[in-house]
Each structure stands twice: as C-alpha cells, then as structure tokens.
Amino acid sequence: MTQPAIELIGIEKRYGAQAALAGVSLDVPAGQFVALVGASGSGKTTLLKTINGLIAPDAGQIRVGGEDAGAAPPHQLRRRIGYVFQEVGLFPHLSIAENIVITPKLLGWERARMTARVEELLDLVALPREVATRAPSELSGGQRQRVGVARALAAEPKIMLMDEPFGALDPLTRDSLGTDYRALHDKLGLTSVMVTHDMTEAVLLADRIVVLEAGSIVADGPPGALLASTENPEVRALLEAPRRQAERLRQRLEAAS
C-alpha cells in the first residue's frame, strides 16, 4: 500500500456551539481527483482550509505526504499545496506575472527561473503569454480563474485544493475550464480535492465524490457506484439531479427536432 497523499483522522472543528466538522476521516490516495460536495454550510471550505493549515482543528490528525501536518510550520505546508480560492483573489495592483510568482518569490527563486515559470504556466493553463504584463482587471472572469490555477501551480505542488473554482463562471467557460483542469491533473500527476456545488461537474470530472452534510461525510465513492450504495435520501436526490436533468434535456431536444 502506498502512502495516501492526504490523511484526515477524526477532524473536529467547532465555532461556538456549531460543529463545522464533526469528526471527519478521509484518505486521499496520490493521483486521485476528489469532488467534495454538500449544501452551503456543510463544512466544505473548513475542510479544505484544515488540510492546508489555514484552520487548526480542535481535534484530529492531518497527514500530508505521510508527514504530520501539525508538526511543520503552516507556511511550509501551504507552499507544498496549491490552493485556488472561490473568489480568485488576484492582487489588483500587481501584473498577472507578479500574481503568479507570489509563492516562488517567497521561496527565493532566481528572477530568470520565475520568468521562465510564468511562460510555462501560461502555456499550461492555455492563456496567451502577452497577458503576463496585464492587470487582473484587463482579463475576463474565465481568464482570471485560469491565472488562479497557474498561481496555485507555480511552486510545483503535488496537491491541489480548489474551493468552487469555476462557480462564478458562465456554463461554457466553466465546462472548458473543468475539462482543461482535469487534463492538467492527469498530465502533472496531481492529487486534487475540488469543492463544487454542481453535481454534474462532480460526476463528469472526479474519480470519487465525497458528500458532506452538517460536518460529517454521508457518502463517499466513485460517481457510478455512489448512487447504488447510499440510502441517504438527500444524497440520492443530489446524485439523481444530473441524471434527471440529462433525461429532461434529451426529451426536450427530441421534442423540438
């Protein structure tokens, strides 16, 4: 058995009386693409932030690449893990290139290496190299989200955490970014955990779907097997939604032709 890339053991986090995470245990093998789904407030963001040390759990253990994540300083952990935020969060006064190399700069990379890395990353996320000198405001929402992915990949992490990365985009852009990201995941041999509200996106992109409800995992499995294996009515409704939509879409398109 190879070491899981991410191991969570009995993670608990509460805010006052409210349990954001009520004892979550999860192993993510290296190379897996996990979609983390669940209603608003179910603890998805708290779980991602716990993995990269932005939030310290009240109880439980986190291991990243086999090492106790609590033992190392949090900033060291964060440099080994790429994180794509829901709201992108590019610095408006910095150029695209400067935004991308934030972590390499902290790591003290040479200027030439950073310049080469920016070009490589722009190619990787399918952005033209001339956007390097632009300000974030001069890019479309989809292009900015690609920069967010490039920035998260800058220091060559093997683990990527993404919090509803494509949530604010139009459906076409979202679809192409999702497909492109999945290809990158495979090409770079990443381990990815992506939070999404969109069950269709989860089914289409992920190897495994983990469903959170009120801070607990209520379903966990590959997209195809999950529906058959769960008794939880809310999880079933969530999983059946893409199938129902696809069926309705097919009927309407057939009726129209």
Which residues of this chain interact with ligand ADP, rule CB under 6 A?
A: 15, 18, 20, 38, 40-46
Q: Which is nearer to Mg ion, 38 or 142 (CB)?
A: 38
Query: What length is written for the chain?
Result: 257
Q: Which stretch binds Mg ion (CB under 5 A): 41-49, 56-64, 200-208, 239-247?
A: 41-49
- Cβ atoms within 10 A of the Cβ of 187, count? 9
Least distance CB 43 / ligand ADP (angstroms): 4
Q: Which stretch binds Mg ion (CB under 5 A): 18-26, 42-50, 53-61, 121-129?
A: 42-50
E strand or H helix that includes residue 141: helix 141-153
Locate 99 and state its tokens: 């935004």
Distance CA 56, CA 253 (A): 50
Distance CA 255, CA 239 (A): 26
Distance CA 205, CA 179 (A): 7
Dihedral pair phi/psi, residue 118, rounded to 5°: -60, -45
- Closest CB to Mg ion: residue number: 45
Locate 225 and state its tokens: 């097997």
Least distance CB 5 / ligand ADP (angstroms): 21
Name the binder of 46 from ligand ADP, Mg ion, none, CB < 5-8 A by kind: ligand ADP
Locate 177 and state its tokens: 């970014």
Name the binder of 89 from ligand ADP, Mg ion, none, CB < 5-8 A by kind: none
Name the binder of 251 from Mg ion, ligand ADP, none, CB < 5-8 A by kind: none
Exactly one of 22, 24, 34, 45 binds Mg ion (CB under 5 A); that residue is 45
Distance CA 106, CA 76 (A): 11
Q: Which stretch binds Mg ion (CB under 5 A): 36-44, 90-98, 149-157, 185-193?
A: 36-44
Q: Which is nearer to Mg ion, 89 or 128 (CB)?
A: 89
Paired sense of beta strands 67-68 and 59-64, if any: antiparallel
Least distance CB 53 / ligand ADP (angstroms): 15
Q: Which is nearer to ligand ADP, 43 or 223 (CB)?
A: 43
Range 242-247 contact pairs with CB under 8 angstroms and sequence separation of 24 or more: 242/199, 242/200, 242/203, 245/200
Q: Which is nearer to ligand ADP, 86 or 173 (CB)?
A: 86
Least distance CB 67 / Mg ion (angstroms): 26
Residues that bind Mg ion (CB under 5 A): 44-45
